[in-house]
Every structure is written in C-alpha cells, then in structure tokens.
Structure 1
Amino acid sequence: MQTMYKFDFGTETPGHEHIKITAETLYSPELGYGFHSLSNVSAVNRAGEEAALTGDFIIPLNAAYQVDVADGLYTLHLLMGDAWFDTETSIRGTEGQMLLEGKLIPAGHFERYSMTVPAVQGRIVLYFSGRAPRINALEVLPAPHACQVFLAGDSTVTNQPADGYPYAGWGQMLPAFIKADAAVSNYARSGRSSKSFIAEGILEQIREKMKPHDYMLIQFGHNDQKRDEGRYTEPNSTYRDFLRRYVDVCREKQATPILVTPVHRRCFDGKGRLENTHGDYITAVWELAAEEQVPLVDLAALSLEYFNRLGPEGTKSVFMWGRPGEFIRFPQGVMDNTHFQQRGAAQLADMVVGALKSLGLQPLSLFLR
C-alpha cells in the first residue's frame, strides 16, 4: 500500500509527479483513492491559466475523498483557490472531526493549508463542504514522529455521528485549532465513565499508540455519577483512583497527562444562575491535579462563567435545543441540556485551547493555532 501521494485535481495535464484526479475519479479498493460519489463533483479549467496546479480544480460540493494508506499519522498539504471567484471551503476528517471551517480565499488567490491527521482502518477520508468549495492539489505524507493529542472522555468530548448533526463534542472541533505539527486522536465515547472507559479497553488502545512527548486530555464525570455498577464512581475515592490510572499510563509512555474538569450541564435555578450538578467530582479533579502535579484545564469554571453570561435563553444556542423543523434530522425538535450543537462545541474547544495556551506547556503551545 502506497503511503505517499501527490494529487492534482482538475482537467488538464497533471503537475510534476502528481496523479491527476478528475470529476470521474470514483473510489475503488483497486485504485486506492477517489471520490465516494461523483454526483456533486465537477471539474473546472480557467482558460488562460497555465500553472499546472492553479489553472484547474475540482468543486467537491458535499463530497468525500478517500485515500487508502496504512494506519498512522499523515500530514496533508492542500492547495485551494480560484483565479476568478471567491471560495469558501470546510473540511471534516475521520469521524466528522472538524479540520477546516469556512476557509475564505479571495478571487485570484491560492492558499496552502496543512494539517496532520490519523489514518484509521487503513484510510483517510476528507469530507468537503462550504458555499463554494475548491481543491486544487493534495499531498499526503507520512508523519510518524508528529505529536499526538489523545482525548479520553464522554459524549461531551466525542465525535458525534453525522446522522446526529448538529450534535458535536468539543473534541470533535478541536483539530481545527491545531497546527500541522500535531494530530488529534479522539477516543472519547458516549456514555463512558472513567471506570467503563478502562473496562472496555479503550485506555489500553491509547496506551498502545502513545509515544514519548504525546499528550492526553482527560475529561470524565458526567457518567461517573450514574448509579449503575458498570459506570458509577465515588468522587473522593474510586473516581480519583480511576483518573490516576490515566495519569500513570501517560507517565509510563513518557507522555503528558492534562486533566480537564467536567463541562457543566445547562441547569439553571429559579434566579437564572447555573447550578453545579457535578459537585465533588470537580473538586476531586482539582485535588488530584495538585497531588500528582498534573496540568489542569478548568473547563467547569470556564463553562460556568460562559453559560451564566449567556443565561437560560442564550445557552440554547450552545446546547442541542431546536424547535420543531429547525434541524433537518430532528423534525419534532430537541431539548438536550447536556450535549452541544456544533457552534457551542466550537466555543468550548476554543476555551480549551485558550486554557492550554495559558498553561504554557512546551512544545504543545507551539502547536495551537
């Protein structure tokens, strides 16, 4: 299986050492690359533009492009633009992770954008959207030594499935804030507690892939409060004990653990002030971070201030609150006080990145946009 590719998208003769991708390049396992569907893919050539990579391009309108490679980390270098018109492109990656959101490029300009992503189950898939998306060229290069930022957590962190749009976890939006020096690997899973995440072997999956100088952000608490045997932990004993195991795995692999206090739910009292439904679980994370001298992102405090500022009505634009007919996939409406819609998840990811910058961890601080 080839691990390095250079693709030239459009209609004309490919650039030097590039593989030409046209509007008829449909993915097949034998080919190892191509679009999943050609129904919304078109190729354009700007007459008079002689540059091999900028004179023609593909418009991938809500289209997915797949490249088969061995599992691992890869840096992608994308060239995007149009000689005649403004463009706007968004790109999602594995499990809907946001890689690039609403990238605007003025007419006559071309920009290179780089990111590092994990290949999962032998493939990289890029999902293109936006009002006027473009792709001129793409390079796929192995990046085995790139830093990996692992996420361990629950549904507030996870990559929510596409059929639940606009549901999103803050970890799903985090890659858009990370430079090409690092990749985000989101192992957070809905419904998991610090206990069940370990029992299901997910922490062990992270341990197997973790290497020195990687990072792991750890946020649990929502499901640790559930009273079933498989998930419940007591904040001042078992919850701290299980979180300590994540810290131990990082130290065993010479990586850096970062504890994250659980983000608040949308729960307001009669005076319009946010209620703390996590209680001693937040305190336990603080105490463990101090005891183990582990960096801490206090997302509980950040979300408390943010949600109080927005108030009961304003926070509906952060959480999955939709009127009947507002969201295509929820025609009867939805009222969810725990999970986020995409714009809210992006705000929380931005808060996490701001907190990480404040910590001044090196080299992580250099990898944050």
Structure 2
Amino acid sequence: MVVRDLASGSRGRHAARLGAAGLLTLAALAGTGAAHAGLATPRALPAGCSGTSPISCHYAVPPGDYDVTVSLGGASAGQTEMWVEARRLMLPATRTAAGAVATYSFTVNVRQPEGQPTGQGGTGNPGLDIRLTGSAPQLSAVSVRPATRPLVAYLAGDSTVCDQPAAPYTGWGQTITTAVRPGAVIANYADSGES
C-alpha cells in the first residue's frame, strides 16, 4: 500500500509496510460517513439519477477524487446500499424510517477505465457512477464536488484485492471503502492475475 498525503503539501509517495505502519495508516483513514439525520420531505430524484430499484446516478466529471454527500430517506421506510464506480461499496445496507433522512459523506476515487487497470471489471463509462441498491433504496439528494487534498491510499494486488466485475466475486479492496472517513480515499489499482 502506498499513501499520498497531499495535505502536507508533499507530492512524494511513502511506502507503508503491512505491519504497524500499515495499521496506523488504516487507522488514520478509518471513520464514519454519517453526518446527520433529519425529517424527510417528499422529493423527486436528484438531477443525474434515475430508476427506483436500483437507483443509478451518473455525473460527467474527469478522473480525480471527489467528495460525495448523499441524503437517504423519504416518505416511506427504506433500506439502501451505495456502490460507486465498478462495484466499490461505500455504504452497507442502511435503514431509514418513514419520514426521516440520513446524510452520509464519502470521498471517491474516479478513474478511466473503471475497475481494474487492464479494463476488466468496469463499464468504461467516463465520469462518476453511483448505484443505490437494497430492498427499498431511498435517495433525496446528491452533492458531488472535487476533493481538496484528500489522503489517498493506493492498493496494488491481485484478484483477492481488485474491483471484481460481478458478484459473488469481490476483492477486499472493494469493501474496505466502508471503513474510510470522508477526506480519505482508497484508490484500488489491483488487477486480476498479478503476482
């Protein structure tokens, strides 16, 4: 794992070993995405989004890191999962009560092609793709803006780490994203077949 800390003004890369230094790095990234909860008002889907189950959103942004804030909830109760790009899980199944809204923030790495560096595992669509699934996905608002100096952890590895294209196969790099706080991001460059 390589960490790039743009907050310090240094653009150098520092190798982090999988021992204590790696754990400290992961601890620095960890946090919660929950921002706040409130009462819901019935709304149409935000611009760029369509569907009911799943709800798909697409934003024409260039490759880079983006701060994404979503508000989940509506007039009826919901259960929503949030996936970005090539099946990177950002929010596991989350319940919202009828009439309530919960807001979550994440930092997302967008690249072209999506998925694995060789092009496996992604649609190849330029821009940011967000997909909300679950038994009753709810979405009331989305905000996407360029991230300012995020802490980036780069992953390199093989099929056990990479963004796998289809369930039930999933690399751990696709799901570690749920443990990362806003302002920090996982850039998964793992590729199937690498040794």
Q: Normalised by the shorter chain, which TM-score bucket?
A: 0.5 to 0.7
**Residues 1:67 and 2:59 aligned together:** yes
The equivalent residue for 2:136 is: 132
Displacement of 1:91: 1.1
C-alpha distance in 2 between matches for 1:120 and 1:128: 20
**Root-mean-square deviation (Å):** 1.9
CA distance in 2 between counterparts of 1:104 and 1:112 reads 12
- Which of the pair has more CA radius of gyration? 1
**Larger relative helix fraction:** 1
Q: What secondary structure is seen at the aligned counterpart in 2 of 1:131?
A: strand
Post-superposition shift, 1:79?
A: 0.9
1:106 Cα offset (Å): 1.6
The DSSP-based 3-state class of the residue aligned with 1:73 is: strand
Q: Superposed, which structure 2 residues align to 1:197-208 within 5 Å?
A: none
Q: Structure 1 CA distance, aligned partners of 2:70 and 2:109?
A: 16
Q: Please report how far the alpha carbon of residue 63 of structure 1 lies from its aligned counterpart in structure 2 after TM superposition.
A: 3.3
1:141-187 CA distance string (max 9 Å, x none): 1114011111111111111102xx11101111111111112111111
Partner of 1:82: 74
Aligned-pair identity (%): 32
Q: How many residues align?
A: 141
Tell me how far 1:64 sits from its aligned partner.
2.1
Q: Deviations over 1:1-39 (max 9, x none)?
A: xxxxxxxx9449xxxxxxx63xxxxxxxxxxxx34xx5x
Query: 1:72 touches 1:144 (CA, 8 Å); kept in 2?
Result: no
Supply the distance in 2 between the matched residues of 1:119 and 1:10 (Cα, whole angstroms): 28
How far apart are 1:133 and its partner, in Å? 0.5
Q: CA deviation at 1:102?
A: 0.4
SS in 2 for 1:95: coil
Taking the aligned partners of 2:65 and 2:136, their CA distance within structure 1 comes to 29
Contact 1:93 1:124 in 2 (8 A): yes
Runs of 4+ in 1 over 4 A off after TM superposition: none
Give runs of aligned pairs for residues 100-119 of structure 1, distance below 5 A: 100-119=91-110
Contact map agreement 1:81 1:108 (CA 8 A) in 2: yes
SS of the equivalent of 2:156 reads: strand
For structure 2, the 5+ residue unaligned runs are 1-41, 113-125
| TM-score, reference length from structure 2 | 0.67
Cα deviation digits, residues 229-263 of structure 1 (max 9, x gap): xxxxxxxxxxxxxxxxxxxxxxxxxxxxxxxxxxx
Instruction: Report the alpha carbon displacement of residue 105 of structure 1 after superposing the two structures with TM.
Output: 1.2
Which one has the bigger strand percentage? Answer: 2
- Paired residues for 1:133-212 under 5 Å: 133-162=137-166, 165-193=167-195
Structure-to-structure mapping, 1:1-369, within 5 angstroms? 10-11=43-44, 21=47, 34-35=48-49, 41=51, 60-83=52-75, 85-121=76-112, 122-162=126-166, 165-193=167-195
CA 1:106 to 1:63, structure 2 compared with 1: closer, same or farther past 3 Å? Answer: closer
Alignment partners' CA distance in 2, 1:172 and 1:145: 22
